[in-house]
Amino acid sequence: MVAGMGTFIDEMLRRAGFRNVFENLARYPEITAEQLQQAAPQQILLSSEPYPFQEKHLAEFRALCPGAEVRIVDGELFSWYGSRLRLSAAYLRQLNLVD
C-alpha cells in the first residue's frame, strides 16, 4: 500500500520537496512489486506506523529497487496532525537530503 494523492502524507511529502511517484493514484492503493519497480523511486520511505516496518523489511525493498535509498521513517511525523507537526518540517527536510 502506498500514499497516493489527496492524502495527508502526500501533502507532507510535497511540502518537504519530495515528488511522490504514486501521486497519480488515489488515496491508499495497493500496488504490486512490478508497479514499484516501474515507478523507479529514488527513495523508499517505510513508515514506522501504522504498519511497523522494521530492519528486516529493508532488504526486501532494496532487492526490488536496488537504485533506491530505502529507510525507515518516523510515521508519526508523516501522518499524525496536531502537536507533532511542529517537528515534522525539520524532520522531512532532513530526509530529503539525498547523497
User: How far apart, in whole angstroms, are the C-alpha atoms of residue 57 and residue 80?
Assistant: 23
pLDDT (tens digit per residue) in 77-97: 878 878 878 888 888 888 875
User: What confidence tens digit (pLDDT) does each residue in 1-12 have?
Assistant: 999 999 988 988
What are the boundaries of each domain within the chain? 8-95
Q: Which CATH class is domain 8-95?
A: alpha beta
pLDDT in tens, 14-36: 888 889 999 999 899 999 999 99
The pLDDT of residue 99 is 40
